[in-house]
Structure 1
């Protein structure tokens, strides 16, 4: 089990801890703040409810978390170190020096929003081990992390860091040229400056500005970014037409740009007061949970379409599947074909897994078996498929949030056109549901049954023959309402 050391356990450090922990890493946290454990516990509670909802494969077993009494203890034996201390360069220099006194060669990513890596590396014992790894809140949900090296960093080492970030489900954006505030925060700062002027000048309230973002361009930016959005705005002529149409606006006094309002008590009171009126009826924890639920919804829609941040989630699922033991052609026993975990969206108001998700689990198991015998997506694209003609589900127990499930297949019968399966959905070796299915092999273009391809039958029929030696499952051939044995 790899180990991550988290220096600073606030909102960002806690998010990093959750991201590593829920991806199976051992995590050691050092933070002298007496409230650090309480803060981190709240972040972890949110993360445990949210991050698994983005995955369609079981999350790794959660790693172990401990709070270290000293910084040296935290970084001892660490494979990776993330520094998330307050944005003060003198403080970061002291912390990084103390880290390198104990772990001089361990990679150290800094969560800094503004400092360049060359600034962090000043007078360091090993400058090449220090770089910027700037995430976005909540770190456990949002995939973006800006990886910013300097000339002191080794290119191969930075490539390894990017691979590490992908392994924990993040999207490492390699910023090839260091600059103050990197890439994303420079945009945020420009929008923030303009928003302050709009409030100060009485043009809009904090709530009205937020509505303008979340009801309009924020929805476009969430899935297309800036340039792709503007390309569409140019119509069929694309970006060139957009630039020709709106380029002259760059010289118009539409924004304040770098003209910053005076930062004084009046401005603070104005902004804080309007923000309290807007959101003060909700606690920070409530706002975080609302934010996380909305982000899960956005991200899962993007995942269904393999678009934007959703593509990162799909790729992470694929990497997780690679770590799951592949099914073997052990034809003398029911074949374990799928590993799953009960996610927040799978449960009903009673806290139990819903009937539709038992059928989903069965479908995942059947699909894995079809892929195993050579009737996967490529086969379907070639014009042939197995269609489910009949299904019977029997509930034996209960599955609840977080339970890990396996799906196994026993072939009850098969010929050229038919496939009779018995699927068990089990938790800790105990069956919680069984699903009996009859599938028909179909020519999808003609819309009628036909014999399966010889290559498919060559893999299927030996399994079917071997499974005939197995005891017939209890419940096979049942009718609805039949008494249980």
Structure 2
């Protein structure tokens, strides 16, 4: 399947708008249809949150953002779209009607996904002329950050359709999981419903309040689930004997009358008011939009942390992010430098996100090194040391770094970095990088680095390949007339 270049979102709101954001940030143009009079405002707020979150999530070069166009009808919206995502309210008659209109107007080979949380795809297919291309694509909120999408085919969905959908969601940085049999609520919502039912009983019976219950989750098993899920977590709990021992030891407990899974709590006005009042107190005056921003920042931090796990290979959603970034770098246009300009190269533009700050709200020490590392990586790509170059066994390794901290970077502040080449020969590359506050252009940190060109397959230094050496030498010659930056050659503790 070729890459998707145009998508359509039928139904805006939180889910439809977030689907649109996923497509747009992946460089895909989106047509949107939603008859709600405030659809543009609602979708616009979702897109603003998504754009903010994406800048915090990665410094990899995202493709040129797609264009969002609101259309006046379903027919206009689906024209030319290769993926059509339906996200209208969860009513079977409404969804059937909308999907039938989509089916009649869409290109014969277009994929049609439904964001339903529990309706069976076979039921949604009933009135379609081309039911083979309809499937459930059930995401999780916020769709623009959480990467999972459950793909569920109906009785008339072809295996080819599911295979095409798996490829397509990979393009937009999502993790597709195929649910083998269609059941109401699929897998994720089945698990959530069981937990939600038990949670409501705990509040009803005054065992705890909403804040206590949330604390139990987020300070314990919620953290485990974020990186290993349920079964792998319990495998560890079984000790060296693994899962079989865990099941033998704790399996009998399942017969104890602990839970109320089979009983449905009666949501009386009194219980609704109790939960509402406790939730209001827990929010402490924070608006829904403020809570969304806090949630997004925390999710970014979790995924960034998981990206560095497993010995740098990433874990769970972090590995997915690392793999997505690798594809972004591979697909990015090769950077070009104006060698006629004798000025440091501007390499990185970023913003201090929540995962980067300490208890004082300042950017932590190792994040400075991360930005400088990304800056040197950007220079290497500029001179031709890209993923293909590295895969072929050549690269530059940093052998010495000296960082000076001149100022402070705080949460949310925009930063940029520049790089100046101080010297180069066939094996060595000496650079000087500076991080600036983007609003004031004041330098807040500098780094002097020495890098050595190596053959990674044999583990020793070797001359850079001719094309790379030619490019880096040209930049070095352009930088030769620049003044040596303040701080070059300084030692730790040296007086100013």
How many angstroms does 1:162 deviate by?
1.1
Q: Please tell me whether the aligned partners of residues 63 and 332 of structure 2 are also in contact (alpha carbons under 8 angstroms).
A: no
Residues 354-407 of structure 1: per-residue CA shift (max 9 Å, x gap): 9767634432235545946999599699xx944136689999xxxx9789x897
How many angstroms does 1:477 deviate by?
6.8
Q: Mapping of 1:460-475 within 5 angstroms?
A: 472-475=480-483
Q: 1:223 to 1:52 in 2, by over 3 A?
A: same
SS at match of 1:158: helix
Q: Distance in 2 between matches of 1:402 and 1:73?
A: 39
Q: Please tell me whether the aligned partners of residues 18 and 44 of structure 1 are also in contact (alpha carbons under 8 angstroms).
A: yes
Q: Determine if the alignment matches structure 1 residue 323 to structure 2 residue 331.
A: yes
Q: Please tell me whether the aligned partners of residues 373 and 456 of structure 1 are also in contact (alpha carbons under 8 angstroms).
A: no
Q: Please tell me whether the aligned partners of residues 365 and 407 of structure 1 are also in contact (alpha carbons under 8 angstroms).
A: no
How many angstroms does 1:185 deviate by?
0.5
Q: Determine if the alignment matches structure 1 residue 116 to structure 2 residue 120.
A: yes
Q: 1:276 to 1:167 in 2, by over 3 A?
A: same
How many residue pairs end up in the alignment? 459
Q: Please tell me whether the aligned partners of residues 59 and 341 of structure 1 are also in contact (alpha carbons under 8 angstroms).
A: no
Q: 1:463 to 1:452 in 2, by over 3 A?
A: farther
How many angstroms does 1:258 deviate by?
1.9
Greater alpha carbon shift after TM alignment, 305-314 vs 23-32 = 23-32
How many angstroms does 1:276 deviate by?
2.4
Q: Distance in 1 between matches of 2:446 and 2:215?
A: 48
Give the TM-score taking structure 1 as reference length.
Answer: 0.81
How many angstroms does 1:245 deviate by?
0.7
Q: Determine if the alignment matches structure 1 residue 79 to structure 2 residue 82.
A: yes
Q: Determine if the alignment matches structure 1 residue 228 to structure 2 residue 238.
A: no
Q: Distance in 2 between matches of 1:47 and 1:220?
A: 26
Q: Distance in 1 between matches of 2:9 and 2:39?
A: 12
Q: Distance in 2 between matches of 1:440 and 1:262?
A: 67
Alignment correspondent of 1:251: 255
Q: Please tell me whether the aligned partners of residues 6 and 29 of structure 1 are also in contact (alpha carbons under 8 angstroms).
A: yes
How many angstroms does 1:291 deviate by?
1.0
Structure 2: give runs of 5+ residues left out of the alignment: 489-496
Q: Please tell me whether the aligned partners of residues 5 and 75 of structure 1 are also in contact (alpha carbons under 8 angstroms).
A: yes
How many angstroms does 1:154 deviate by?
2.0
Alignment correspondent of 2:491: none
Q: 1:239 to 1:32 in 2, by over 3 A?
A: same
Greater alpha carbon shift after TM alignment, 456-465 vs 285-294 = 456-465
Of 447, 450, 455 in structure 2, the residue corresponding to residue 439 of structure 1 is 450
Q: 1:92 to 1:441 in 2, by over 3 A?
A: closer
Q: Mapping of 1:11-410 within 5 angstroms?
A: 11-103=14-106, 105=108, 106-279=110-283, 281-305=285-309, 306-326=314-334, 340-345=348-353, 359-368=372-381, 371=385, 385-388=397-400
Q: 1:476 to 1:214 in 2, by over 3 A?
A: same
How many angstroms does 1:179 deviate by?
1.2
Q: Distance in 2 between matches of 1:394 and 1:473?
A: 25
Q: 1:367 to 1:268 in 2, by over 3 A?
A: same
Alignment correspondent of 1:414: 425
Q: Please tell me whether the aligned partners of residues 332 and 466 of structure 1 are also in contact (alpha carbons under 8 angstroms).
A: no
Residues 51-82 of structure 1: per-residue CA shift (max 9 Å, x gap): 22212302222221122122222112212111
Q: Distance in 2 between matches of 1:155 and 1:375?
A: 37
Q: 1:339 to 1:5 in 2, by over 3 A?
A: farther
Q: 1:44 to 1:138 in 2, by over 3 A?
A: same
SS at match of 2:126: coil
Alignment correspondent of 1:483: none
Q: Distance in 1 between matches of 2:352 and 2:337?
A: 33
How large is the RMSD of aligned CA atoms in angstroms? 4.1
Of 4, 8, 12 in structure 1, the residue corresponding to residue 7 of structure 2 is 4
Q: Distance in 2 between matches of 1:468 and 1:410?
A: 5
Q: 1:201 to 1:394 in 2, by over 3 A?
A: closer
SS at match of 1:173: strand
Greater alpha carbon shift after TM alignment, 30-39 vs 360-369 = 360-369
Alignment correspondent of 1:446: none
Residues 256-297 of structure 1: per-residue CA shift (max 9 Å, x gap): 122112343333233223322322622111111111111111
